[in-house]
Amino acid sequence: MSADPVASSAIAGEASGARISAGRSPTAPRRLRSLHRSALFVAVAALFAGTAPAAQAQSVQELKTQIEALQRKLEDLERKQQAAEAENKRKMAELEQKAPAQAVTGGDIPGSFKLPGTDTSIRIGGYVKLDGLYSSKGVGGVGDQLFAPATIPVGPASGAAEEHFEFHARQTRLNIFTHTPTSVGAVTALLEGDFFGANGNQVVSNSHGFRLRHAFGTIGKFGAGQFWSNFMDLNAIPDTLDFGGPGSQIFDRQAQVRWTEKFSGGEWIVSLENPESVIGSTTATSVAKPDTDQVPDIVGRVQWDVGKAKLSLAGMLRNVRIETATVDDDKWGGQVSFAGRVPVLGQDDLRFQVHAGNAAGRYQNGFYVDGVLGPTGQLLSLPKVFSAFAAYRHLWTQNLRSNLVLSGSRADLPDGAFGGLNKSVRSAHVNLIWSPAKKTDVGVEYIYGRRETENGQSGSLNRVQFSTQVSF
């Protein structure tokens, strides 16, 4: 902020004094007139009372003269009071004109402020979070810090994994949101990041890289930047301590452009989003390929309100493509999703998502491949995927709540696909979260996950997570 804080304080004090003075002025003349008239009445009454014996000696004209003199004095006092009031109003107007250029003021959106001399409201938010995780199997890397189904060990090797405990604060988050009214609609900007970037050194400093989560702006109905995929329904995201969430959840942030239109009871959104094809084969879970995608992912979603329930129906079209020195092929795939949040039994709610098709791939927490190459190198198929989760949120009291989240997903892979490709995942989350004060959460959560690969090998993970979160 460029303003001199001392000068701003002085201006604020002067403005405050002017407001007090101006605030009294409408009632002060009335009190003054009432006082003067009462005095006039008393004076006249005293005059009559004190001169009663000589009343016959005084003329009516003399009494009128005295009353008129008192009336003129009263009118003179009222004129002076009105002049003072007008002067106070003038000074107040001058101070109000100067204040916006030199002082920070409240913004137009909750929790925001305006920079001096601007119409832009700015809100700073985020939270500090500590997670402690005890896992039945240590998997290494980010898989020990959040539930990542693809990292669950399977087969004979799964029994060799040792138990693991870890503290980390990587989910800590910072965001800045701005809002500016314009003739074409609100102009907004969101910038957000957390610390799930490059791994730090736990031996010395435990530092972790700050990474970009959101960088998204809107101009009226148009939006552009990096944000949640339009294929997601944010209302359906479960209330878990675990950052990964249910294994079958659509979860993706990426660069995009979108258009939003509101209608009575809801809105529809269309978007073009960053394409990225993840290809497996008959011999590997991932095929190295240059970034040869040529068509953006196309997503449309309709969201509507039914009473207090929020429901959405989404569809996505993708061109899955690979082009190398030996392979040049692509196929179109599609996915549909139905999701929402429905209030039940007081303040409880049910959150859910069901999606099916052959384009989920990387959108489902990166668990499935988008396409599988056949033995000859051509794109054999796009795996069909069916997934669902349901989350029930119960409030025991106003500051104590629990969530039960169950999910499952399965892919139909082509014959001959590599045995290490993921075929199915199941997960469960159950927690108890206490909010001892506003914007604070302390909780414990049990997490279960089971992963199966195409060759029939499977493995499971049990985890207990403790978390504290303080938001601002």
- The fold for domain 113-471 equals Porin (2.40.160)
Contacts (Cβ under 8 Å, ≥6 apart) of 248: 353, 364, 387, 388, 389, 407, 408, 409, 425, 427
Candidates 305, 298, 366, 293; CA nearest to 329 is 293
- Rounded Cα gap, residues 125 and 403, in angstroms: 25
> What's residue 58's pLDDT?
59
> What's residue 66's pLDDT?
79
Contacts (Cβ under 8 Å, ≥6 apart) of 37: 74
Distances in whole angstroms, Cα of residue 14 to Cα of each of 11, 18, 88, 104, 117? 5, 6, 11, 16, 19
The order of strands in the sheet holding 371-373 is 279-280, 371-373, 379-381
262, amino acid identity: K
- Rounded Cα gap, residues 310 and 307, in angstroms: 8
What is the Cα gyration radius of the chain?
35
Kindly state the helix (H) or strand (E) to which residue 144 belongs, with its residue range.
none
241, amino acid identity: L
E strand intervals along 285-327: 297-306, 309-323
| Cβ(154)–Cβ(453) below 8 Å | yes
> What's residue 384's pLDDT?
96
291 burial (CB, 10 Å; 0-12 / 13-18 / 19+) is exposed
3-state helix, strand, coil in the chain (%, to 5): 25, 45, 35
198, amino acid identity: A
Positions in the chain short of pLDDT 50: 1-29, 32, 35, 42-44, 52
Distances in whole angstroms, Cα of residue 270 to Cα of each of 228, 274, 297, 407? 13, 14, 11, 27
Question: In the chain, what is the straight-line distance between the N-terminal and C-terminal CA atoms, in Å?
Answer: 21
- Rounded Cα gap, residues 356 and 338, in angstroms: 9
- Rounded Cα gap, residues 458 and 10, in angstroms: 71
Q: What is the residue whose two structure tokens read 């303040």?
A: 347
- Rounded Cα gap, residues 14 and 232, in angstroms: 52
> What's residue 100's pLDDT?
53
Take residue 211 and report the two structure tokens written for it.
């990474």
| Cβ(303)–Cβ(231) below 8 Å | no
Residue 313, CB-side half-sphere exposure with 13 Å CA sphere: 2
- Rounded Cα gap, residues 45 and 53, in angstroms: 14
Q: Pick left, alpha or beta for residue 340 (phi over 0 → left; psi -120 to 50 → alpha; otherwise beta).
A: left
